[in-house]
C-alpha cells in the first residue's frame, strides 16, 4: 500500500519544495541553473547563507582566496568573527581532524591573521 507521502507526490498539488528537489534530483537543466545562479531561491538570510557557504568551502578544502571572499560576504552580512570561526568548529566533527587542521590556516588568513609564523 503506498504511503500518503508517495500518493501525494503523484497528484497535481505537489509541495513546491518537493517539486524542486525532484527536479534537481532528475538533473532538470533549468532548475539546476536557477539553483546555481540565483541565491535568492534559498529561504536563508544573507548571513546564514554566507556561513553555510563558508562551511561548504572549508569542507572541500577550497583555496584561501575563495574562503576570503565568503568571509567578506559573511562579515558584510553581519557575522562576527566568533560566528565565522564557529563554522569551522561546527564542521570539524563532520570533516575530521586532517581537514580541520588543513583549513584552519586558510580561514585565519581570510580573517587577516597569520598563524603560520605564530606559536599557540
Residues 26-54 have a mean pLDDT of 88
Quickly state the pLDDT bin for 1 (edges 50, 70, 90). Answer: very low
Residues 19-44 have a mean pLDDT of 86
In a domain, 119, yes or no: no
Query: Is the distance from CB of 78 to CB of 47 less than 8 angstroms?
Result: yes
State percent of the chain over pLDDT 90. Answer: 59
In a domain, 52, yes or no: yes
State which residues form the domain around 90: 46-110
Q: Based on the domain organization, do 53 and 23 belong to the same domain?
A: no
In a domain, 89, yes or no: yes
Residue 36, pLDDT > 60, answer yes
In a domain, 120, yes or no: no
Q: What's the chain's average pLDDT?
A: 86
Residues 1-27 have a mean pLDDT of 70
Query: Is the distance from CB of 106 to CB of 112 less than 8 angstroms?
Result: no
In a domain, 115, yes or no: no
Report phi then psi at 6, rounded to 5.
-70, -35
Count of structural domains, the chain: 2
State the Cα–Cα distance between residues 114 and 107, nearest whole angstrom. Answer: 10
Q: Based on the domain organization, do 69 and 93 belong to the same domain?
A: yes
Amino acid at each position: 500500500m503506498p504511503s500518503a507521502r508517495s500518493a501525494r507526490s503523484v497528484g497535481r498539488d505537489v509541495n513546491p519544495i518537493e517539486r524542486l528537489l525532484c527536479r534537481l534530483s532528475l538533473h532538470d537543466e533549468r532548475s539546476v541553473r536557477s539553483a546555481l545562479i540565483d541565491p535568492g531561491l534559498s529561504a536563508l538570510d544573507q548571513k546564514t547563507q554566507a556561513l553555510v557557504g563558508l562551511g561548504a568551502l572549508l569542507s572541500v578544502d577550497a583555496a584561501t582566496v575563495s574562503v576570503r571572499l565568503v568571509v567578506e560576504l559573511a562579515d558584510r552580512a553581519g557575522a562576527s568573527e566568533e560566528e565565522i570561526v564557529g563554522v569551522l568548529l561546527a564542521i570539524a566533527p563532520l570533516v575530521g581532524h586532517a581537514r580541520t587542521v588543513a583549513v584552519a590556516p586558510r580561514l585565519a588568513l581570510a580573517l587577516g591573521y597569520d598563524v603560520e609564523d605564530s606559536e599557540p
